[in-house]
Amino acid sequence: EILQHFERIDKLELKTIVRQYKEHCRMLGKKVRVRTLRGDISGIAVDIDEEGNLVVESEDGKVMVSEGEASIL
């Protein structure tokens, strides 16, 4: 049942979810650290992309983060 519900989410619905999430995300514009399976990423949270990834501007450039534990520093 749950799987069928998620299968009904199309691109338009995803765009709406991402837009609403961005409106309420307290991390944007702040210094963050994200702990991922591949290591820590630190920088400024600058965006949530159309896929729902957190975009972090790090010393190495923009990084799209799809998983991990994010904290405001």
Q: Could you tell me what percent of the chain has a pLDDT over 90?
A: 66
Q: How much is the pTM? A: 0.78
Whether the per-residue pLDDT at 9 is higher than 90: the answer is no
55 near 46, Cβ under 8 Å? yes
Residue 16: its pLDDT value, please?
86
More confident of the two residues 34 and 11: 34
CA gap 27, 72 in Å, rounded: 6
User: Is the pLDDT confidence value at 5 over 90?
Assistant: no
Q: Which residue has the higher pLDDT, 5 or 40?
A: 40
